[in-house]
Amino acid sequence: MMEKVRFLKRIGHDFKDLSLLDLALTHRSLGSSNNERLEFLGDSALNFIIGHAIYRLLPNSKEGELSRYRADLVKGKTLAEVANELQIGDHLLLGGGEMKSGGRFRSSILANSVEAIIGAIYLDDGMESCSICVLRWFDSRLKNLEISGRKDSKTELQELMQAHNKPLPFYKIIEISGEAHNQKFTVECKAEGLKSPTRGQGATRRDAEKIAAAKALIGLSNDKRQD
Cα–Cα distance, 130 to 153 (Å, whole number): 31
115 catalytic? Reply is yes
Choice among 115, 124, 152, 156 that is catalytic:
115
Q: What backbone torsions phi and psi does residue 60 show, to the nearest 5 degrees?
A: -100, 0
- Full 3-state SS string of the chain: CHHHHHHHHHHCCCCCCHHHHHHHCECHHHCCCCCHHHHHHHHHHHHHHHHHHHHHHCCCCCHHHHHHHHHHHHCHHHHHHHHHHHCHHHHCECCHHHHHCCHHHCHHHHHHHHHHHHHHHHHHHHHHHHHHHHHHHCHHHHHHHHHHCCCCHHHHHHHHHHHCCCCCCEEEEEEEECCCCCCEEEEEEECCCCCCCEEEEECCHHHHHHHHHHHHHHHHHHHHHHC
Cα–Cα distance, 6 to 14 (Å, whole number): 11
43 catalytic? Reply is yes
Choice among 39, 43, 152, 156 that is catalytic:
43
Cα–Cα distance, 143 to 147 (Å, whole number): 6
Show which residues are catalytic.
43, 115
